Amino acid sequence: MPQRGQKSPFLNLLLAASPYLLTAFLTFLVYTPLLRPYAHVFTTDYKDFNFPIRYYATASLDAGRLPHWTDNIFGGYPFLTDPQTAVFSPSNLLLYLLGPHPLTTRAMDWFLVANVVLVALGATFFARAFGLSRLGAVAASILMTHNGFIPMHLGHVQFNQTIGYGYLHLGLLLLALKRGSWRYAVASGLAGAAVVFSGFPQLAMHVFLMSGIGTALFGIRDALRLRALKPLLPAASLGLLALAVALLASMVQILPVPTLLTNSNRRVLDLSVAQGFSMPWQGYWGLIAPGLFQTLPARLPNRELWFLVPHNVLTDGAWEYLYFIGLVAAVLGIVGWTSNARRGVVWILGLVTAFLLLCAPGSETGVYQYIYHYVPGFKQVRIPTRMMWVAWTCWGLLVGMGAETIARATCAGALVAARRAVVTILSTLWLAGAAMVGIAWLQTRDWYIAACRLLVLSPTSHWAIREPALFLGDILFQLIITAALTVIVISILVWLARRGRGAAAAAAVLVALMFAEIASYGIHKNIVIDVGGGITSVLPRQYKAVVTPMTGRFLFDSRGDVMKNQAMIAGTRHANGYMATVLLWHMLFAPREKSPLGRLSEENARDEWNLTHYVMDCPRTTATIAGRRLELPFRGSTWLAAEEGFPNDRQTAIIEDGKSVRKIHVLANAAAAAGLPNDFVVGQVILADAAGTTSCALPLRIGRELAEWSYDLPIHPAAIGHMRPPVAFVGKRQTHNAEGGNFYEATFDAPTTFTLGRITVQATAPPPTYLSLSHLVLDRNGQMEIHPATEGLGSIVEPSGLPELTVLRRPTALGFAWGVPTGKSVSYKDGLRYVRDKYWNATFQPRQEVLLNKQQLPRESLESLNAPDPATFAGTVDFKKPVPERTEVRVSFSQRGWLVISELWYPGWTAKLDGKPVDLIRANGAHSAVAVPAGDHLVTLEYRTPGFAAGAAISGVTWLFAVLALLSGAMPRRRQPAAKAN
């Protein structure tokens, strides 16, 4: 029982825990909108990146394996190697252990909030370790946790985890330095390892820069105070110990990364890319008054309340620079700075904040380029404004010191100086703003135009502006709030400077006012009311388009990065993906998300990547074919010309089950043919069997099967020199293509003397006449099969689960593995220039040859590995993939040849032939190949993450010894028995 005058241990514990409990409660309060029915977190990066990543990782762990590799995106990707997958993050492992299986969006939503609570607790701990009182720590934590950076990036799981563990790392390091404790340094190192595991190297780099600079300043301060160099050694030793433990404990994540980084788009970023999404200079006003640039929640109707950046009038990407802190936080920071001006640490915090704010505009100020050029690591990251979380960390400590100064109110002189500084700065800002508004109004004599000139950065941003009355009302509403807060804050400071009473209550009021202001600005960010789960479901609605099983890969003709990574949830295979780090050879060789427009090289790429389905959102047109009205997807047409140097003179469709085809309808027109007479042959339709050994050619004649595209259209009023055949439809001009006009129906009977296997449409007229081919339509016993020419004549329109989307099936895809008779040696040096030239050349035949990396080929000649008689080469393959990290292919070749595997090449894959190791050769730029003898064989491929085994061993040993060291310090020492009295 505590003695009289002493507090109970429970009360002491409660007082010690009170700032943590309060900041956690306030954080939960900010995110109470998630308690509303049908409320979900919604941002593109959350939905399209972070949630699929966590879903795949937890599903893999459920299956009893580490997710080293995924074959669901990019045609294969080293999942575990990418630090942003954050498989080893302590928070993510807790989600796996405690969360639902499979992962749900609801659980993930609250997991995001838990990570913000982690930020709040970490910031409070850091502020307390810094030396702030309980009130000061709460004030600092409020700013660090709820400034605009956090709600704007709520969906970025890695951001808040990295920051939360970063504050824990910094706080423990401060305690280690203050107490000279190696145990605190070890604990700080383990927290630093959690920073690395959290999965955002850019912010982790910021954390370790802060710890390194802070350690150096701590040692320098003691050295200057004692006028000796000796104090530098303990500080440096503890800082290095913490850093060493952090790096060694996270080696399992660090060691694999260089292989990915050096072979990706992040190897070196151009300065213009690194400075992307910089803050416009107008954005400085938005740090204090964000309502000048986006409508505040109180001004929004309920249907618009849940927008990420409602009516933003700056440039796109406001989530990367509207990192508001509000007026009260700015004032408290000024009070903390001016009232503690004699302390060197205060000037360091203030100047660091100012420097980072100068970096935020990127090229506008030119400061960031010096960091880019001279600080290691900054050439691999982008967006200068992301350093502003460090600025608000420094300013948060000043805010805490300002709250302490007001709460104590023991030094009237300090309060007077602070009041003068606040009044001077705020008056200057108000006068500057009034002068800018006045000048703009005098120039325009219109408040709306004047406001647009001052606040709207780009003409392309005008789409986001509300109507003039509402737009001006939004601005006035923010100005009223800011003016009211200005009056309240200055009145409190004046009253305290004169009276000095109620200081603690005044400080608490200002801290509460700061929280209310910041929370009101960010409370609805990234949250949406989604009745029915239409936009926040685990799988996007677009995945319902494909109703038949997919045996290969697919592509969405997307207008952005949506819907790609969800393939990891659906268990399907996407030929593309959405990751910050993309392998260079995927970027150079993968099929593009746009129409091939008849280019054979583009169609070859789709075949090689086993693209069996393609989903596109394109206009429709109604055509009349054989007296029936059909709805056709129409993106334009492909141009065919018998002219040297022209990309294509023909286009071919591989036909399935040719016996069921009764009629062949070719929809096309001719250009530069107005003066040609009737029956002039401009092209031909070649019908052939599957092997191409038997064929017949049918003419495409002017005035019979087709005509000038502009016949009877206003664009061509002059007389046409031939008749006009039946018009199937009139196409509209497309944005990416100039063609349109009439498309005519040419109808042919299917051959009866052989089974139809392929149809080729070829242009034969001399230049400048050319053919414009839009569709091939096959009548299969009354069922019309549509082949759009722009997507490759081999593509077939299939039934879609969503009427607004067109689904194409591509039977020409080569599969995940296939045999070819001939390998060709190609240099993969000079940025893959030589192999690119051959790969994207229309003469490349992926069914007959493979482009092998010259530097990897064995010493024996290719002739000894290629098929002796390529013309008669035949082979079958049976592809199986029991887990993403293992591939099994049973091969049966008539002659020796090459097995090509359509999976993204990456270091770490090895091959065995009938159980014996063989060379796995990089092939076709981005894939792999194995030389296989004639006969039946089993080829197996296995993937092991490069550097993972060594990294896991180092990390495991480090964690073991670090934990044992910490536990040894925590265990009570055994008391020695007292000596017996004589």
Query: d(Cα 819, Cα 816) in Å, to the nearest integer?
Result: 11
- Pick the range with the lowest mean pLDDT from 640-649, 752-761, 913-922: 640-649
Mean pLDDT confidence for 807-813 = 94
Q: 977 to each of 968, 971, 973, how far by Cα in Å?
A: 21, 18, 12
In a domain, 548, yes or no: no
Q: What is the pTM of this model?
A: 0.91
What pLDDT is recorded for position 656?
92
* Mean pLDDT (the chain, rounded): 90
DSSP 222-282: HHHHHTSSTTHHHHHHHHHHHHHHHHHHTHHHHTTHHHHHHTBTTSS--HHHHTTTPPPTT
- Are 127 and 225 members of one domain? yes
Burial state string for 603-633 with b = 16 or more CB within 10 A and e = fewer than 16: bbbbbbbbbbbbbbebeebebebeeeebebb
DSSP 506-528: HHHHHHHHHHHHHHHHHTTTTEE
- Are 763 and 753 members of one domain? yes
Summarised one tens digit per residue, pLDDT across range 332-380 is 999 999 999 999 999 999 999 999 999 999 988 889 999 999 999 999 9
Amino acid letter at 166?
G
Last residue of a domain, one of 504, 538, 572: 538
Give, in degrees to the nearest 5, the angle at Cα 689 between 683 and 695.
45
In a domain, 981, yes or no: no
In a domain, 780, yes or no: yes
Domains identified in the chain, total number: 4
Query: d(Cα 207, Cα 199) in Å, to the nearest integer?
Result: 13
Quote the domain boundaries for residue 862. Answer: 817-943
Q: Look at residues 574, 562, 601 and name the one whose alpha carbon lies nearest to residue 75.
A: 574
- Are 532 and 658 members of one domain? no
- Are 639 and 493 members of one domain? no
In a domain, 407, yes or no: yes
Summarised one tens digit per residue, pLDDT across range 128-150 is 999 999 999 999 999 999 999 99
For residues 153 and 202, is the Cβ–Cβ distance under 8 A? no
- Are 765 and 648 members of one domain? yes
Q: For residue 10, give every residue at least 6 positions away whose Cβ sits within 8 Å of its Cβ, in sequence order, or none.
A: none
Last residue of a domain, one of 523, 538, 553: 538
Summarised one tens digit per residue, pLDDT across range 178-202 is 999 999 999 999 999 999 999 999 9
Report the SS3 class of residue 644.
coil
What pLDDT is recorded for position 736?
38
Beta strands in 738-885 (DSSP E): 741-749, 758-763, 770-780, 783-788, 796-798, 806-809, 817-820, 822-826, 849-853, 875-883
- Are 842 and 766 members of one domain? no
Tokens of 877: 């393959």
What pLDDT is recorded for position 457?
63
Work out the pLDDT band at 42, boundaries 50, 70, 90. Answer: confident
The H or E element that residue 586 is part of is helix 584-589
CATH number at residue 879: 2.60.420
- Are 748 and 840 members of one domain? no
The H or E element that residue 900 is part of is strand 897-901
Report the SS3 class of residue 111.
helix
What pLDDT is recorded for position 297?
82
Whether the ω angle into residue 310 lies within 30 degrees of 0, i.e. cis, is: no
- Are 210 and 145 members of one domain? yes
What pLDDT is recorded for position 982?
35
In a domain, 574, yes or no: no
Q: For residue 811, give every residue at least 6 positions away whose Cβ sits within 8 Å of its Cβ, in sequence order, or none.
A: 612, 654, 656, 794, 796
- Are 445 and 419 members of one domain? yes
For residues 790 and 635, is the Cβ–Cβ distance under 8 A? yes
Query: d(Cα 708, Cα 695) in Å, to the nearest integer?
Result: 28
- Are 96 and 220 members of one domain? yes
Work out the pLDDT band at 981, boundaries 50, 70, 90. Answer: very low
What pLDDT is recorded for position 306?
63
Report the SS3 class of residue 918.
strand
Mean pLDDT confidence for 264-284 = 90
In a domain, 966, yes or no: no
In a domain, 579, yes or no: no
- Are 311 and 254 members of one domain? no
**Does 310 score more than 70 pLDDT?**
no
- Are 175 and 281 members of one domain? no
Sheet holding 611-616, edge to edge: 573-574, 553-556, 611-616, 806-809, 796-798
Last residue of a domain, one of 538, 573, 594: 538
Tokens of 463: 């789409």
State what percent of residues in the chain have pLDDT above 90: 71
In a domain, 594, yes or no: no
**Does 980 score more than 50 pLDDT?**
no
